[in-house]
Structure 1
């Protein structure tokens, strides 16, 4: 049900959750299924408002590498799922293993700890079953790489559309919109006792009691709240020299090469396809685990991209749509914001001149067919997540999505500026390094050699061979995936939360956002963090059911939390 955080007559829920994005909703609904009540506090409302977004702006110390926050996050019911392109990809077993060439990338849990929750997480995200391996393709190249890695795409990307009704109908879930948490109150012995909250317009203030607190406010905002807690308690989370705010990771995205298929029909393998469940999937190239270890490669996937942005399609209408998509309003109606910005900011993409040449009269021969294709896509249910437009040369942009290596100096910090509700704003310094670029260069080199041994395709480099690393770093810009700043670890020296996502030194505080991930993998982080959210829900439910439910948080309930078997 919808509730009012400023109504002091309401009873305290067993679990308070900050954030009503996919992670917060997943926790609330799973706790509800397990018989535990929750209160979900969301800073935004049912629709996005500039006045709320204005509370969450940041200073970009490296604007060349990070998109503005308003473009990569949304403060509203459903959170950033409203901007999401819908890709659901599983982390690989190698991501959880210690790798000599990935410094500061150790997980406190194993792949087996989280894998049981991938299936319900994929279902929750409306991406069908957790099947991420496609049928193998005979290409006579050996097993150094494969093209069996599968991405799944949510049918309904907006979490509030898919799950908001269930949350509002539940008697055990109270969703409080337009409620901003401005302070977390701690007792002297390290227990969260309450929250200071304000209405998003600042007209109402209140203090909420807390029994168990989960911060699921997205990577950046979860980190910002923890940093504001540390501002008032300088030794918290290891102090200034500790891990909080450090190791900020995203992904490297871009293209430095084309892939030319030896037979035109080979590209069909990599098109968006519906599986038996009606879910769209896409096949990608990926180096094997053995190849990654042998050549010290960060985890990377690559795929052919015949997008509207590539003028080689020679279609007038498609070029016109691409040129118009550069306008924010129309572009967001045509493409998810993340995809639109990637196409419009791609430094190795087709020039505007190439698209304008497609507008010559000859390019309009297929305009009716193209218009019909676009309309079919627009009204399809579910709508296809992207385009793979064929061209006569069977040569396509080879896009990559690569792991961003942990770097202690890539970080988020507080500034001296405060917002209108009194919280310090943040500064973002997202760094990509030569090590990131060198790994991607080696990946392309190894894949090119692998393709040469087979009958599927060949790689065509699109930049000077000596400029590969510079070109990769020039394209390195993200911020949609906000990982690492409150990382999981085995000790407080190395991380902010333990294997169960409980904050070190605070008995009843849990953080559950992409910021807890110690490495970034090749995968979009939404699926893995929802899986961790479901795992956390079972941990919390066990804590409440291990003994009788306490009337108020005290040492009795804290014993229940501390006695919980790790990883359950």
Structure 2
């Protein structure tokens, strides 16, 4: 059943076996698995089925340094499907080293190892619709494939790992029928949780307060409760519920909201390839798109005492007509027609004068068929196709590529989210975000780029030039990587340094669990969605055992 709270008959309370708050990919995956296990689930979603600016307003907040972090109502959606309604679909699992304590990365180490998620990743991959759980070239493509970079044989980097792409799947649309038809799931829309009630000694949740679109307050009662509201909202709900635990639920040691991570990302340098390069997408037998990366090995991370890091070959700066690519020149001259976030990046590359415009026009005139082919591909394979072509891939005429990198951010307690003074329409305090990075983060990117340059040179397959002094500028040009809200309610064995235990249960509270990237102790190099869904499936099993 899927119904808006305002359409329900008056009732003193709504009861269920498990109450899941948040109907994004994590909450939906958890609800479906719990129903399969025979549990009755109430799934609460504050939004409706479409984007609603009035509901989205509840996400507004304050950013301490707007140059380093986007507005809080961007890159997340308050509706059925959550942020999966706008994500790009990139999927990959964490690496084994990501789970390990690393003495060169303070506060690293998970209380679980990679084996704890191994059984859940394949089902998470299936729910995300990212094809088979095969993330190496040999596993995904047993037949011989063209090399990513001809002649590359890295000492520090490998080129045989993959990232896979979802459709991208909107969980709200894809699983709406299953949610509606399940006799064990009730999805309540327009259900904004405003308070978590505890018993007198703070050891168990006794209920939730929900505000409806009509302004009524309805209690929700269950045996077990799970917050699956994303890294920002999870911290907000815990911190705002202060009647029994004055500093907020699970926050006796001032950990909730701290260790806030995203990822470090940017585009830098110039790789002058001497041979053939394949930087496009491979299509697997199941129809999913895959792309190879240059991945820093665990051995090198350990030897160099740096964080995790991957890089992709990228087209050169679009604004510079020296690339000679008609498609890139067409994108530049037509930049007012591209989405706003891409348009901002093009604007930041700098606008040229008449001479630059003329050179772009000449590039187009020399190869108009490429522009026409690209336009057709974007229409057919990206806009109209159910499984969309993931991104712009253009081979430059001069065989010079920039490098698109994605790096782990170190956890640090001073990077945090807190409650502000202003309140939203539901009476909830708005968030203040103070996102910070460390010198270790800069060192990770600088060192990894230098090692990659060395690997490319030693392999004799090209030259990678970059300015080490520009690394910090490039990795913070657009601030925190959008949509990756990680670590605000971290997992650990020690309640003084974490919020939940290895089973994602809030320390000291018997029936309150957290799901999603908020519980990640470290960020890895990987986009968080696939692992967050895998953790949710694992949590479903833990909740089933607890109910037995």
After TM superposition, is the score higher than 0.5? yes
Task: Confirm whether residue 421 of structure 1 aligns to residue 434 of structure 2.
Answer: no
CA deviation digits over 1:515-548, x for unaligned, max 9? 111100000000000000000011112222x2xx
- Give how far 1:476 is off: 3.9
CA distance in 2, matches of 1:300, 1:493: 30
CA distance in 2, matches of 1:121, 1:528: 8
Alignment check: 8 A CA contact 2:257 2:488 kept: yes
| CA shift for structure 1 position 59 | 0.3
Deviates more, 1:52-61 or 1:354-363: 354-363
Contact persistence 1:484–1:517 (CA under 8 A)? yes
Cα distance in structure 2, aligned partners of 1:223 and 1:316: 47
What is the distance in 2 between the residues matched to 1:376 and 1:297?
A: 40
Q: Which residue of 2 aligns with 1:341?
A: 341
> 1:308·1:389 contact (CA, 8 Å) conserved in 2?
no
Aligned CA-pair RMSD: 2.4
User: Which 10-residue stretch deviates more, 490-499 or 304-313?
Assistant: 304-313
Residue 162 in 1 paired to residue 162 in 2?
no
Match of 1:227 in 2: 239
SS in 2 for 1:212: strand
1:192 maps onto 2:205 in alignment? yes
1:560 is aligned to none
Q: Quick one: distance in 1 between partners of 2:54 and 2:152? A: 57
How far the C-alpha of 1:372 sits from its partner, in A, is: 3.4
Cα distance in structure 2, aligned partners of 1:387 and 1:308: 13
Alignment CA distance shift 1:114-1:406 (3 Å): same
1:369 CA drift (Å): 3.9
Deviation of 1:419 after TM superposition, in Å, equals 1.3
Cα drift, residue 360 of structure 1: 2.3
Is the contact between residue 237 and residue 243 of structure 1 (CA under 8 Å) also seen in structure 2?
no
Unaligned runs of 5+ in 2: 139-144
Counterparts of 1:252 and 1:429, CA distance in 2: 16
- Contact kept, 8 Å, 2:209 with 2:219, in 1: the verdict is yes
What TM-score results when the alignment is normalised by the length of structure 2? 0.91
Question: How many equivalent residue pairs?
Answer: 529
1:2 aligns with 2:2: yes
**Cα–Cα, structure 1 residues 356 and 47, in superposed 2: closer, same or farther, change >3 Å?**
farther
Provide the TM-score with structure 1 as the length reference.
Answer: 0.87
Residue 345 of structure 1 and its aligned partner are, at CA, apart by 3.1
Q: Tell me the distance in 1 between the aligned counterparts of 2:272 and 2:152.
A: 17
Match of 2:125 among 118, 122, 125: 122
Quick one: distance in 2 between partners of 1:300 and 1:385? 21
Aligned twin of 2:141: none
1:402 aligns with 2:402: no
- Secondary structure (helix, strand or coil) at the match of 2:513 reads strand
Q: Is the 8 A contact 1:16 1:38 kept in 2?
A: yes
Against the structure 1 CA distance between its residues 488 and 362, is the aligned structure 2 distance closer, same or farther, given a 3 Å change threshold? closer
The structural deviation recorded for 1:220 is 0.7
> Which of 110, 115, 122 matches 1:112?
115
SS of 1:69's partner is coil
Comparing 450-459 and 273-282, the one that deviates more: 450-459
Change (3 A) 1:430 1:140: closer
User: For residues 120 and 383 of structure 1, what CA distance do their matches in structure 2 show?
Assistant: 21
Determine the structure 1 residue equivalent to 2:377: 376
Closer, same or farther: CA 430–479 of 1 in aligned 2, 3 Å = farther
Structure 1 residues not aligned, in runs of 5+: 333-339, 547-568
